Structures are given as C-alpha cells and as structure tokens.
Structure 1
Amino acid sequence: MSDGLINSAPKPEGDPQRRRRLHLLLASVTCLMLVILLAICGMYWKFTSNLRHFEVAEADLGNRRPAKASPDALNILIVGSDQQTVSVANPGERSDILMLAHLSADRSELNVVSFPRDLLVPLPACSGREGLPGQRAHLGMINSSFMFGGISCTWKTVETLTGIKIDHVIKVDFSGFRRIVEAIGGVEYCISEPIHDKLAGLDLAAGCQTLNGEEALGYVRARYSIGDGTDIGRIHRQHEFFGAMAQKLLGAQLANPVRLFSFMDAATKSVITDPGFSPGVMRELAFAVQHLSSENIHFITMPWHYSTASPGRVEWVEKPAKRLFRSIAADKSLMDTEFTRAKIGEPQDSTTKPCGASRVDHCAEISQADGVARP
C-alpha cells in the first residue's frame, strides 16, 4: 500500500553526474593552483633575471671577519654610486651615499646608520678589482674605498670599522633610484621654501607635493643650495626623505599585488648585489618594512665631529660610535636609547619635511658629554 506520498529514491553514491561535477571541481582547483604556481615561478624567474651581481671572494674581505651574534638578523650595506667619469685622479666611482641597514632577528626593528662621505676613518688595506688600484692601510675618507677598491673594498672597510658582519651589499646608481621612486608612484613631501639647485638639476616650488623620480634624485643629492650646505645637512634631509619613502611602503603599497610587482621589478632592475642576494631576500625586506611601525624605524648618523686637523672633513667620535656598533652587532634594540633620543651633531633643517604625522627618528645618537661640536 501507498501512504499517498511520492518519495523519490536517493541517487546512488556512484551517480555519474555527481562524479562529473566532483571531477570538474577538482580539475578547476588543480588548474588554478597550477596557474598560481606558474605565475609565482615566472615572477621569481623574472626578478632573478633582473638582478646583476658583482664579483666578491672571501679573500677580498680578509680572514678576520666579525662573527654574528644572531644568524637571523640581517645586515645590509647600501652604496649609492655617483657614476662619475673615471680618470687617473678618480679611478672609480664614488659612494655618494653609504648606509648600513640592520633588520633585527625578530623583524621588530630596522636601524639604518649613515656614514658621512667626508668622514675620516682608519682604512684597511685591500686589493682592487676591474682595473682599480686598491687601497693601502691609512687614515682617509670613507668613500675613497669605493673609488680605489670597489664594492668589496668598501665592504671590508665598513666591517673593519664597525665590527659588524655584513650579510649583503646593494649598490644603486642614479637611474636605479629614479626607477624605484617612480615604481611606488612618487613620494609626498612638504617644502617650506622654493629650492633651486643647478648642480642637482632641482627646481621645486614651496608647498606639499609629490616628488617624481628625477625630483627625488635631485633632492637627496642637493647640498650647497639647501640648509647649511654641508654633507651632514644633506644626510639629515636624506633621512627625512627615506623616512617618507618607508612611510609610503608602510601603507597599502606592498599589499597591492600590482604595486608589489611594479616595486619588485623596478628594485631588481635598479641594483647590483653580491651573489648571495636574491629576490627572496628583497621580498622579505619589503614585507618586513611593511609590517614595521614608523616608531621602529630609526635613521642614525654615525657619531661625528668636525676635524680640526683637516678642515672641511669630519671625524668619528670613537666611544659613542663603538657603543652603537656593539649594540647593532649584538642585535640589541635601539628603542629609547641615547642613539634614538639625542639630536646632538645633527643640523636641524626646517626647509623640508615629510608629509603626514608619522614619526621617524633622525639623530646623531650622541650626548653632550661626548664633546661633539654642533655644526
């Protein structure tokens, strides 16, 4: 007998239509994963093929390299080249910018130390490459290591001076810097007074504006037409500008896949690195910066004072400098220390400032007790 209800029988587990839908779904997921994998591999291959490397051997760096307290911390030397014309008097390029970036092992802090190009320090002996004459051990300007011995000589000079083992070295030239700024869509900056500098090719009106690659390059290179005309003053402005760049990267720049690709493509095309540096390291750096707060990014000038023996030059202040280098070598935090509180030795330039309310420390991390002369 029937109860008057019409009940359709359940489809068997082996129903062909259900199996086809399941197979189609699995095939779609597999294809999607394959496309994503191929895209990642393609981008990695592209970025890897973009990178250029310089030659460096362990022998170039000497047999007494410093030890690392934390293998997970990253120490990266950044060299900005002026690409000057080579001559007998100037056998190689000069390092217009020389910075040592330390990313802590826990990725919670980034400290960037600038070395003034006019800084007199003990220089170690090193051999030259690619026709450069090399460097004898003597007291000289820190940027001469790059001119006479190239990247590997600069690497050895900074390691010998600081006692910090450098993991990677990045060299960026003028055209590369322009490309990187363009890739992030320019940098917003506020200028209180017009800037006109023929040497740097700079002509900027007062007010808040977005600096393109060419304008940004002129700004970080300008010296005599802004502030007190010193290299120390220029370093202070460079810190302000790089802080503004970091602030832009701290925003949504690298969260946008298109922007990330554009930035990585421009960055890998714009630098020459040691053979061990890879797009993976660059990507790790980019994401580490993105996830840092501006309070944990510090731009610091190596402790210095004006030279009395060599007018126009500056000398390092050994005691505070060694304290700074020991802290970095040991991967100690510089938050709320003498290095990120003091403003002694750094000229205060009110001509320019980054847009926005974010704070980035700019300091010469030395106290008045160290006897540092104010410019």
Structure 2
Amino acid sequence: MSSGLLDLQPASEDPPRPRRRRRWLLWALVFLLVVMLAGAGAVYSVYARLTGNVRHIEVTREDLGDARPAKTATAAVNILVVGSDRREGPDAEAGERTDTIMLAHLSTARNEAVVVSFPRDSLVQLPACRARDGLPGQQGHLGMINSSFARGGIACTWKTVEKLTGIHIDHFVQMDFTGFKGMVDAIGGVDVYLPEPIHDEYVRLDLPKGWRTLNGEEALGYVRARYSLGDGTDIERIERQQDFVRAMAKKAMSGETLTDPTRLFGFLDAATKSVTTDPALTPGVMRDLAMTARGLTGDRIHFVTVPWRFSTAYRGRVEWLPQARTLFRSLAADEPLTAGDPATPDDAAGAKTGGTR
C-alpha cells in the first residue's frame, strides 16, 4: 500500500509506444572496461594508474536495513549497474540523477548471465531511505524508480531494487554519463547517422542530416536529447543510447584503438574516471569475474526488461506486471531462464531515430 505520498515527475505528452529492444546500455561498456583493464594489467604502472581512478562509495547495513533478501547458498553474483547524469545549476535535482538502472546476474557456473532493465518511467512503491552524503533521504511512497537515486544516492537505489525484486545484491557499478565526452574524444569520435537535422537548445545540439563523427560534447548532447528526436519518449532515447554505446565499444575494441597506446590509454583513463563501485568490488575482483566468465558466449547472455504495461491511472508511466515476480524468483534462486519466462526479450530492435556504424 502507498503511504499516501505520491511523486510523479513530468511525463511526455503522449505515452511511449511499446517496443522490443536490446538493452546493451552500460552493460557493454562495463564489460568492455573490465576486459580491457585485465589486459592493461601486463603493464603494472599503467594498471595502477587506471585502477586508481576508480572511486568507491561504501553502502552500509544502516543504508540497506536488516530486512534484506537472503543470499542464496550459491556462488552466483548480482551486480546493480547504474548510469548517472551529473547536472549543475538551478535545474539540477540534488546535483545528480539516474536514467538507467539494470541488474546483472552472473550464474554460479559463470556460463550464463541475465541483465534485467528497469524502465525509468516505472511507477513503484519506494522504500524509506536515510539521509546521507548531503542528500535528504526518502520516505516510503509511490513514485518513479529513479527518484531513489536523486534523494538517497546509490545506497537508496540499492535498497529500492532489493525491496522491489527480492534479489540480494552483491555489488554495484555506477558510471557517470558525462564521462562519455572524454571517452569519445579519446578514440577520435563516434560515427552516427542522423535521418533528420537536430536543433535542440536544451542540450545545445545543432547538427545537419546525414553521417557525422560526433565529438565528446556532441555525443553527450546526442545521448541526453529527448524531445527533439524521434517520438520524444524515454524509451526511444534508451534505444539511441544503446546504439551509441555499441558503436563506441566497437571502435574502442578495434585495431585502430588497440594498436595505438596513446588512444587506448586516453580511453581507459577517461572511462575509469567515470566509474564508482562499492569498496568490495576491487579491480582485482572485476578482473577475476571477467576471467571466470571468459567462456560466456553471446547466446548465453540474456537481456530482458521487467514485464510492464502502460499505467491507466498515470499518463506516461509504466507499471510492472505480476509476471515480474516470477522472473525475480528465478534469478534469486539462480535458476536458468527458459523460453517461457515472462520477460520482454531484448534481441529485436524497434524503429531507430538514427544509426551507427
């Protein structure tokens, strides 16, 4: 039941169209970073410099409470992956917000992974969170899932996802989207195709139609833009971000980057400066996870979206279907997904606002 409080951020005028889409945003980038860092370990001074860039935030028992989901008696690992967007000025909400929340589940045998995406427009029952790090904290209420980050940071988001899913989370990885600028510039820009000109004063983007190599500043505006592109929905923006991350990862892993020490170091330096984890998720632990999962093939990595529907009571919002509970129970028990599992598969993309190459 709701506490009587209601928190609804402004929604788009028209509800988004449902689409089957791939959820590579952040996961591809996080996995890419771990693998490339593991390779950099051969040169200790470089590895030490890069891993020293990573920030850490401790999430305590006081933050999460005593009524946490039980940890299963397996070696499965659950990692909360959050994409944050630092904002400055009077329009900023507590200085930072998150538009991307995912939960990555790595099986005990390290032969299967499931990445669950939580739509930002999800209207859910949020738990109470304590104030910390200059943030006001949160009362229990019905609101947008990303409200927890603005009011209580990563600790509150961790608690929120555990409460909603019943899945015990082991670690978190937070990536700052503004770090895209340095990463994109380091690899010489990323090519995108624009089917129509973009004129967006909010993100300060003015680009002609056609193929263009976006620099860091342009790339940040491109992944943040919403109402000036496509149908103006957050769902469409997520698709565009996913495409861009895929294109950036492809270029970062290309011979053009890997054979250029200056370019490679610049990319990894910018990327690691954008990463925050819990203290227990050390670079060594990340490297070990990457090594144990090195045999994980693409067909064993499942990208799914929480089963949802459009809210009939709150325009522009989505609500989770009862089938979501079945998905969460399977992951909590480290059970493999089957063809009949009630989750939206993300292996088919919908219409695109633009493209990458």
TM-score normalised by the chain length of structure 1: 0.70
CA distance, structure 2, for counterparts of residue 323 and residue 74 of structure 1: 19
Cα deviations across residues 28-64 of structure 1 (Å, max 9, x unaligned)?
xxxxxxxxx9974323432332122223212211223
Q: Do the aligned residues in 1 keep the contact of 2:129 with 2:138 (CA within 8 Å)? A: yes
Equivalences for 1:13-92 in 2 at 5 Å? 40-69=43-72, 71-85=74-88, 90-92=93-95
Q: Are the counterparts in 1 of residues 304 and 344 from structure 2 also a CA contact under 8 Å?
A: no
- Equivalent pair of 2:306/2:343 in contact (CA under 8 Å): no
1:220 shift after superposition: 2.0
Q: CA deviation at 1:300?
A: 3.3
Structure 1 residues 213 and 117, CA gap change in structure 2 (3 angstroms): same
2:352 partner letter: S
Give the 3-state SS of the residue equivalent to 1:311 in structure 2.
coil
Give the equivalent residue in structure 2 for 1:317: 321
1:353 is the counterpart of 2:341: no
> Aligned Cα RMSD in Å?
3.7
For residue 264 of structure 1, report the CA deviation from its aligned partner: 3.4
**Which residue is equivalent to 1:363?**
none
Pair 1:339–1:234, CA change in 2 (3 A) = farther
**2:276 partner amino acid:** I
Once the two structures are TM-superposed, the CA of residue 156 in structure 1 deviates from its matched residue by 0.5
- Identify which range, 212-221 or 284-293, moves more after superposition: 284-293
The amino acid that maps onto 1:244 is: A
Across the two proteins, how many residue pairs are aligned to each other? 317
Match of 2:120 in 1: 117
Identify if the C-alpha distance between structure 1 residues 190 and 55 changes in structure 2 by more than 3 Å, giving closer, same or farther: same
After superposition, the C-alpha distances for 1:327-361 in whole angstroms (9 at most, x for unaligned) are 333444457565677579x9933322343xxxxxx
Question: Retained in 2: the 8 A contact 1:44–1:279?
Answer: no
Contact 1:249 1:289 (C-alpha < 8 Å) held by counterparts: no
SS of the residue 2:273 aligns to: helix
The offset of 1:118, in angstroms, is 2.3
Q: What SS does the aligned partner of 1:94 have?
A: strand
Letter in 2 for 1:349: A
1:273 matched to 2:277? The reply is yes
Letter in 2 for 1:172: M
2:148 is equivalent to residue 145 of structure 1: yes
Which residue does the alignment assign to 1:24? none
CA distance in 1, matches of 2:41, 2:201: 48
Q: Which residue of 2 aligns with 1:301?
A: 305
Describe the superposition over 1:210-242 as per-residue Cα deviations: whole angstroms up to 9, x where unpaired: 433333322221211222211122223223333
Q: Is the 8 A contact 1:125 1:136 kept in 2?
A: yes
Q: Is the 8 A contact 2:84 2:97 kept in 1?
A: yes
Would you say the 8 A contact 1:250–1:291 is kept in 2? no
- What are structure 1's unaligned runs of at least 5 residues? 1-36, 356-375
Name the one with the larger helix percent.
1
| 2: CA distance, partners of 1:242 / 1:68 | 32
> Do 1:92 and 1:132's aligned partners in 2 also have CA atoms closer than 8 Å?
no
What's the CA shift for 1:106? 4.3
Aligned partners of 1:310, 1:110: CA distance in 2, in Å?
A: 34
| Deviation (angstroms), 1:129 | 0.2
Tell which deviates more after alignment, 145-154 or 99-108: 99-108
How far apart, CA to CA, are the structure 2 residues paired with 1:303 and 1:115? 9
Larger radius of gyration: 1
Q: Deviations over 1:69-105 (max 9, x none)?
A: 4754443222222323477994452212222233444
Q: Distance in 2 between matches of 1:293 and 1:223?
A: 33
Q: Which residue of 1 aligns with 2:200?
A: 197
User: Structure 2: which amino acid aligns with 1:316?
Assistant: W
1:127 offset after TM fit, Å? Answer: 0.5
How far does the alpha carbon of each residue in 1:260-286 deviate from its partner, in whole angstroms, 9 at most, with x for none?
644432222112221122223444567
Q: Which moved more, 1:249-258 or 1:196-205?
A: 249-258
**Bigger Cα displacement from structure 2, 111-120 vs 85-94:** 85-94
Q: CA deviation at 1:254?
A: 8.6
For 1:298 and 1:220, how far apart are their aligned partners in 2?
24
Aligned pair in 2 of structure 1 residues 192, 257: CA closer, same or farther (>3 Å)?
Answer: same
Contact 2:307 2:344 in 1 (8 A): no
**1:286, 1:46 → 2: CA distance?**
20
Aligned ranges for residues 335-374 of structure 1 at < 5 Å? 342=345, 348-355=350-357
Distance 1:254 1:288, change over 3 A: farther
Matched AA of 2:278: D
Q: How far is the alpha carbon of 1:257 from its aligned partner?
A: 8.3
Trace 1:206-217 onto structure 2 (pairs within 5 A). 206-217=209-220
- Deviation digits for residues 3-43 of structure 1 (CA, Å, limit 9, x no counterpart): xxxxxxxxxxxxxxxxxxxxxxxxxxxxxxxxxx9974323
Residue 232 of structure 1 contacts residue 347 of structure 1 at CA under 8 Å; is this kept in 2?
no
**Of the two structures, which has the highest relative contact order with CA contacts closer than 8 Å and spacing of 6 or more?**
2
> Deviation per CA, 1:118-154, whole angstroms, max 9, x where unpaired?
2111111110102322112221111111111121011
Contact 2:193–2:211 under 8 Å retained in 1: yes
